[in-house]
Structure 1
Amino acid sequence: MDAVRRGLALAWKALRLEITLYRALGRWLVRRPDVPAGATPIGYSRLVAPMLWLWIFGSAVEVVVLDVVLSRWWTPLRIPLLVLGVWGLVWMLGMLAAYRVRPHLLGEAMLQVRDGIHARVDVPLERIAGVRTVDHELPGLLRSVHVQGEGEGAMLLIGVGSRTNLELVLTGPTTLRTPHGSSTVTRVGLWVDEPREVAEVLRRRRSAPLRRSPRR
């Protein structure tokens, strides 16, 4: 029974991933990034975009070559492999689109850290004591969220291409929700395209008074 539940949970997760990719691709095509009104977008796609474009080009060439070869020598496999190849190509385009249309979001009271379709971590601005440009690496190429260290030295890394280049020093141990559960950390690392500029924006926003809605 547990195996069935795990299988269903995995299938549901895969379906949600597919839907998110196709939505991101649709937003990219119509140029409507997922940025709510009042939020400031912070880009982070420059690191992975060249690599993804290379994979997309290679996959497109592979689809065409396989279709030509199989149409002459092994016709029964032509359609299944063509469908699989096109699906893989669209999947990678959706991944690239997610990096472009789902940037980090800086709001009045919160910094929402994203990583394409994988991660979302909300960091309250009032918990940020300092910002600095520091490089960190995550273990493994596919991991986008990782907690490094323990106790007072625990740091949450939300990487792009297994790297981060901006570090948020928190006012103290802070519990943040991640895709893998809650973690209590004292620092947060993330990747942005312009670390120095973003650091300066965060310093100004952190020191600015919080806007209040006018009383009626």
Structure 2
Amino acid sequence: MIKVARGVLLAVLPAEVVLVILTVAGVRLPGPVLVAVEVAVALMLLLEAVTLHRLFRAARREGAGRRAAFGTALRRLVPVQVRRLLGFELRSMASLGLWVTRRRHGVPRGATAVPYAREQSSMLLVLLFLAVVETVAVELLLGALGVPSGVRLVVLVLDVYGVVLVLALWAACATRPHVVTERELRVRYGAHFDLRVPRDLISSVRLARAFDERGTVTVADGRLGVAVSSQTNVVVELSDPVTVVRPLGRTEEARMIRLFADSPALVLDALRSPTA
């Protein structure tokens, strides 16, 4: 039943979004179409509610409290990829507030923060400029073509949201640096990746520059790469593998970590210093 509920959710919600966009844009839809979509949405909500209730009761029978049972039911119902994508956006948006107030996330007192966002700043600046230019150009073009104001409003909102997402990515990378504490090395990339490595598992750390990384977060043959602009410059060797949770939830094992730091010497010095 969970698979059916997930399938219905992924099928009906996009249709409802399209319906809302068309309605806001002033498009007149036949009455039967509106009724059919609304009935489908109502049935979907009913199915999701019934499924969620059953999962909640099952968790309660296993001894979970109400809050824990609800969380368990929600995790079982909503695909992990969807939950993680929503989490990325929420954390990235929250990073905008940290950026404005010049604060950093997850850097305790006495820890060493290791920034990594400087190398991609020029690329993000270009991307932001292009997004703003596109927003203005599309709005002017639609206005010149006499497109209805409802359609223009929808397109404008989507374009502005795209601009905000670029800013949020920039903010997330700036406010969520790598962190070295007495107990662990925390390797991050914005709001999309977060790995904690106990320092007693680190057997060696060295400077090693690479300019051909194929992705931002990659795992291959037990080697984790967390790159910035296709670059890494620090290699951390581990005595035992750690479990890596990739951005969309898949897990891998890694015994070597390649990461990028604006100042690699900062990582080397912090990890080579004796722990308490």
TM-score normalised by the chain length of structure 1: 0.83
Select 1:82's aligned residue among 127, 143, 156. Answer: 156
Q: CA deviation at 1:55?
A: 0.6
Taking the TM superposition and a 5 Å limit, the aligned residue runs for 1:20-169 are 20-38=91-109, 39-76=111-148, 77-136=151-210, 137-139=212-214, 143-149=215-221, 154-169=222-237
Q: Distance in 2 between matches of 1:161 and 1:126?
A: 30
Q: CA deviation at 1:164?
A: 1.6
Q: Secondary structure at the match of 1:56?
A: helix
Q: Secondary structure at the match of 1:161?
A: coil
Q: Percent identity?
A: 29
After superposition, the C-alpha distances for 1:72-106 in whole angstroms (9 at most, x for unaligned) are: 22332321111111000001000000010010111
Q: Runs of 5+ in structure 1 lacking a partner?
A: 211-216
Higher strand residue share? 1
Look up the equivalent residue of 1:27 and give its one-letter code.
Answer: L
Higher helix residue share? 2
Q: Which has the larger radius of gyration?
A: 2
Q: 1:187 to 1:54 in 2, by over 3 A?
A: same
Q: 1:82 to 1:126 in 2, by over 3 A?
A: same
Residue of structure 1 in register with 2:52 after alignment: none
Contact 1:168/1:188 (<8 A) preserved: yes
Residue of structure 1 in register with 2:269 after alignment: 200
Q: Secondary structure at the match of 2:88?
A: helix
Q: 1:99 to 1:5 in 2, by over 3 A?
A: same
Q: Distance in 2 between matches of 1:63 and 1:185?
A: 42
Q: 1:131 to 1:53 in 2, by over 3 A?
A: same
Q: 1:121 to 1:56 in 2, by over 3 A?
A: same
Q: Runs of 5+ in structure 2 lacking a partner?
A: 11-77
Contact 1:173/1:184 (<8 A) preserved: no
Q: Distance in 2 between matches of 1:54 and 1:117?
A: 21
Look up the equivalent residue of 2:244 and give its one-letter code.
Answer: R
Q: Distance in 1 between matches of 2:170 and 2:206?
A: 28
Contact 1:35/1:41 (<8 A) preserved: no
Which structure 1 residue ranges, 4+ long, deviate > 4 Å from structure 2?
Answer: none
Q: CA deviation at 1:4?
A: 4.5
Q: Distance in 1 between matches of 2:200 and 2:83?
A: 36
Look up the equivalent residue of 1:49 and give its one-letter code.
Answer: S
Look up the equivalent residue of 1:147 and give its one-letter code.
Answer: V
Q: 1:53 to 1:4 in 2, by over 3 A?
A: farther
Residue of structure 2 in register with 1:191 after alignment: 260
RMSD: 2.0
Q: 1:3 to 1:49 in 2, by over 3 A?
A: farther
Q: CA deviation at 1:70?
A: 1.6
Look up the equivalent residue of 1:177 and give its one-letter code.
Answer: V
TM-score normalised by the chain length of structure 2: 0.66
